[in-house]
Amino acid sequence: MAKIIDDVDKKILCLLSENPQLSQTELSERLKISQPAVSARIRKLEERGALARLVGTDIKKAQLFLAKVDVSTDNVEQVLKFLDTCPLYLNSFLTSGRHNMIIFLVGENIRSVMSCVDSRLRQNLPVKNMEFDLIVTPIRPLIVRIKPNMEKKRITPCGADCSVCTFYANDRCLGCPASIHYKGNLL
The enclosing domain of 28 has a CATH number of 1.10.10.10
179 inside domain: no
133 inside domain: yes
122 inside domain: yes
**8 Å CB contact between 33 and 80:** no
Query: Same domain, yes or no, for 40 and 113?
Result: no
82 inside domain: yes
Residue-averaged pLDDT of the chain: 90
Query: Same domain, yes or no, for 44 and 63?
Result: no
H-run or E-run covering 44:
helix 35-48
Query: Same domain, yes or no, for 20 and 69?
Result: no
Domain of 83 in residue numbering reads as 57-146
What residue ranges of the chain have pLDDT lower than 50?
1
Distance CA(77)–CA(60), nearest Å, equals 31
Query: Same domain, yes or no, for 84 and 142?
Result: yes
Query: Same domain, yes or no, for 26 and 100?
Result: no
The phi, psi pair for 144, rounded to 5°, reads: -125, 150
115 inside domain: yes
Query: Same domain, yes or no, for 36 and 97?
Result: no
What letter would DSSP give residue 50?
S
HSE value, Cβ hemisphere, 13 Å, CA-based, for 74: 1
Distance CA(7)–CA(179), nearest Å, equals 50
Distance CA(65)–CA(140), nearest Å, equals 15
* pTM for the model: 0.82
Distance CA(39)–CA(37), nearest Å, equals 5
175 inside domain: no
Q: What is the pLDDT of residue 2?
A: 55
Distance CA(8)–CA(160), nearest Å, equals 52
14-22 contacts: CB < 8 A, separation 24 or more? 16/51, 20/53
Query: Same domain, yes or no, for 68 and 116?
Result: yes
Q: What is the pLDDT of residue 29?
A: 95
113 inside domain: yes
Query: Same domain, yes or no, for 102 and 126?
Result: yes
Query: Same domain, yes or no, for 68 and 141?
Result: yes
Structural domain ending residue among the three candidates 146, 167, 182: 146
Q: What is the pLDDT of residue 65?
A: 92
Which domain CATH number covers 62? 3.30.70.920
